[in-house]
Chain A
Amino acid sequence: MSNKLNTLSLSATALTLALTSALSLVTLPAHAADDMEKCFGVAMKGKNDCAAGAGTTCAGTSKVNDQANVFKLVPKGTCEKTASSTSPTGYGQLMAFKPKM
């Protein structure tokens, strides 16, 4: 820690000013109990279930891509729309996913 910063931050006046300004900026009262759920919208799911998973026998028997095929599988979600300053097209990450075989 530099001496300059010590002087700046350790000054009681500076800290008092910061707390005073913080308190002056706080205008809203704390939540009333009735306000608790006012904007509760996104419900996260419970992760524990007692049902069988989606899909049936087929999903459990089909062999997944083995190591040799790993590099054939590329992200195909919204990442393709993500601008990238390093990508020559300015779009997408798929260029980097050319099979290395």
Chain B
Amino acid sequence: MSQYDINTPRSTRAVTHGLPARAGLGLKPDYFQPLAKGCDDLGFIEIHAENYMVAGGPFHYYLERLCEHYALSIHGVGMSIGAEGALDTEHLQRLNVLLARYQPASFSEHLAWSTHGPCFLNDLLPLQYDQQTLNRVCEHIDQVQNTLGRRMLLENPATYLQFNASTFDEPTFIREVVRRTGCGMLLDVCNVYVSCINHQWSTQEYLQALPLHETAEIHLAGFSEAFDRNGQRLLIDSHSAPVAAAIWSLYQQILEHTGPVATLIERDNELPGLAVLLAEARRAQAYLDNHGVQP
């Protein structure tokens, strides 16, 4: 019998309600050992669900230990909520097993699609914002929330293209999804900024149209910069750089509306030493502390 029997939920671990309004960090194997000792700078850690859909070994060994020190956020990257086809129920079941085992304080997914037919494309692809898509996304979120028996958070996307046939603007579409499904919002500040620059939208108008009071988690990340062939600025959501100045200032502005909210430093590529990311986490924590109690 496996010491990590995936069919046995952790009945001894208390179910928590939401992430603490503190700074957190995306967990990478490079940081397993240093973080396993505990670290006061972090209130939570976040994992990508799909990376932990493995039977055993170091990933589960360390995650078990890390959960003794930090609240856990499980962030899905492969559910393909916006897919034209039906949700992959096998994948949803895998997710259910993972959540039953770790009882995370939060589960989130993306407003995007990444599968078509049997094919998984491993990128968060953009949606055509129309009534049909809205209905489908809401049905899929209902299905996820009903299967998992919990509220999920939906993350706003970073996009490089807009569809001709869209009839909603992005924040209005998100507001509708949140209103109809009761899901919460994972506000990725970097994605807001990247999309607004890429499509020449106003960040102020974008934020005003979002249901900011439903924000249960914030992501902060760096981006990289390019130009399209028309010479227009094109930002890429690369998660490979420190959190940019523009993102920090947008973040402080958002906190004015949301009050303190769990905030993740998200770095997936060009990983620096842990100390560099912990310094960013402390900076986020300082802004959180400045915003005191939730209004």
Residues of A bordering B, CB below 8 Å: 36-37, 40, 43-54, 56-57
Contacts and interface: CB of A to CB of B under 8 A. Distances in A.
A51 B268 CA distance: 6
Q: Do most interface residues of chain B lie in helix, strand or loop, or is the interface mixed?
A: mixed
Contacts of B221: 51
Interface of B: 28-30, 32-33, 47-52, 58-59, 61, 75, 77-78, 110, 122-124, 158, 221, 224, 226-228, 234, 236-240, 268-269
Contacts of A45: 28-29
A46 B28 contact: yes
Given A43-B29, A46-B28, A51 B239 contact: yes
B48 A49 contact: yes
B51 A46 contact: yes
A50 B110 contact: yes
B48 A51 contact: no
22 contacts: A37-B33, A40-B33, A43-B29, A43-B30, A44-B29, A45-B28, A46-B29, A46-B48, A46-B50, A46-B52, A49-B48, A50-B48, A50-B239, A51-B221, A51-B269, A52-B123, A52-B238, A52-B239, A54-B269, A56-B224, A56-B234, A57-B228
B48 A48 contact: yes
Nearest to B226: A56
Given A43-B58, A56-B236, A48 B50 contact: yes
Contacts of A54: 238, 240, 269
B240 A40 contact: no
B268 A50 contact: yes
